[in-house]
Amino acid sequence: MSLDRQRAQRLIETLPDMPEAARRLAPNHSPAPPKVANSADVTPAALDRRWQRLPASARAALLPNSPPIEPEDCARNIENLIGFATVPVGLAGPLRVRGLHASGDYFVPLATSEAALVASYNRGAHALTDAGGCTALLLNEGVTRSPGFVFANMVDCGRFAAWIVGQTDALRAAAATTTRHGRLDDVRLAIEGDHLYLFLDYTTGDAAGQNMVTLATAAACAWLLENAPVKPVRHYVEANMSGDKKASAQSFQTVRGKKVTAEVLLPSDLVSRRLRTTAAAMVDYWRMSALGGVLSGTLGVQGHYANGLAALFLATGQDVACVAEAAVGVTRMEVRADDALYAAVTLPNLIVGTVGGGTGLPTAAACLDILGLRGAGHARALAEVAAALCLAGELSIIAALSAGHFASAHGKLARGTHPAPSTS
């Protein structure tokens, strides 16, 4: 019997008798508790009403008398507020970055409850800084929305496509009515039968831009529906071809957000002193892990971008769901002359901003202040810092795995059996 079949058999054996199972799994139409009404009201009275149906014991933890954020400060960021999730914030650094937009030594706040994460990124940051910093380059930027149009037949679809090719300027003007900071840069299309997908590529200034491009696309679609010589049967503002909040081959090959690459050359003595291994050992491990990624079908080849990005996103008020696409990319390592280690990362989907969204909340603003990247003019620098952080994390985890320290480090830090070792 195959392993999958054995597991299925064990699951079946754990089920209750069939009549009882059928009763428990059948639809339940008994009266439900009162529904939570969608509301952005954050007054004390509104909070009290929501807590009437919740365990009183939880209120002190989620809504203390002195909350980390005043409820009125986040009325535009959440609905049905009941309190705040407190996530520890650790510090890694200095992380020295020599970029087109980020230049200097950065102390990076990381919000996480995973022990060993901050220590690992901190170790990698020290290695980069001791090497004189890493080079980081913003290669491309743009955020796409992909509205979809359904036609009665392929002929109508083709006529619409032929017409729309010459409408870029008009679409750009329509999109501009909704934003002062975003710009529609390019219009592309794909046809599948009687379906047409548009790709509206925007730049979004210093905002991550997800909401910005949605509103701009809605305005562009309204203009299309009013002026098109061939009317679609129906349309959607997003037809799931943009790669929004999901890993996709399309975004991996182009850009979604900001595409950044970062590199460093670590002398052999620095690899030994900071990372407790050798360049050859790290490249041997990287080679096997790269093939493992190919065999498992991952998009890109990297160790754990999501760890650092999720912690950075939480700390700085980014849309954490965008880690699904941001944590796609390629890590590469080579042994160079005199046993030095060359390492590079490339991330094509960094959706980050320094204005708008959650960046204005007090804790996020404070973390951006720590980085020195709060407000307008800093989004590109934040993207380069994010890539440098990922490079630091890749160096540390690959060093630990190549030297056999990965499990023991987690045992010491995550289980608290020993004090965390100093890396100063």
Which candidate, 274, 306, 265, places its Cα nearest to that of 403?
274
Q: How far is it, in rounded angstroms, from Cα 311 to Cα 322?
A: 12
Q: Which amino acid is at 342?
A: Y
Number of H helices, E strands in the chain: 16, 11
Choice among 181, 195, 405, 410 that is catalytic: 410
CA dihedral defined by 45, 49, 54, 55, rounded to 10 degrees?
50
Q: Which residues neighbour 82 within 8 Å (Cβ) at sequence distance 6 or greater?
A: 47, 50, 51, 54, 62, 63
For residue 295 the two structure tokens come to 């065999």
In whole angstroms, how far apart are CA 189 and each of 89, 159, 196, 219, 232?
A: 43, 13, 7, 18, 15
Specify the pairing of strand 103-111 against strand 89-99. Answer: antiparallel
CB 367 within 8 A of CB 315: yes
Choice among 73, 185, 284, 319 that is catalytic: 319
226 is catalytic: no
For residue 188 the two structure tokens come to 């592309």
Q: Which amino acid is at 178?
A: T
410 is catalytic: yes
Choice among 114, 130, 194, 339 that is catalytic: 114
Q: How far is it, in rounded angstroms, from Cα 234 to Cα 310?
A: 37
For residue 108 the two structure tokens come to 């990076």
Which candidate, 110, 45, 30, 96, places its Cα nearest to that of 367?
110
Show which residues are catalytic.
114, 319, 410
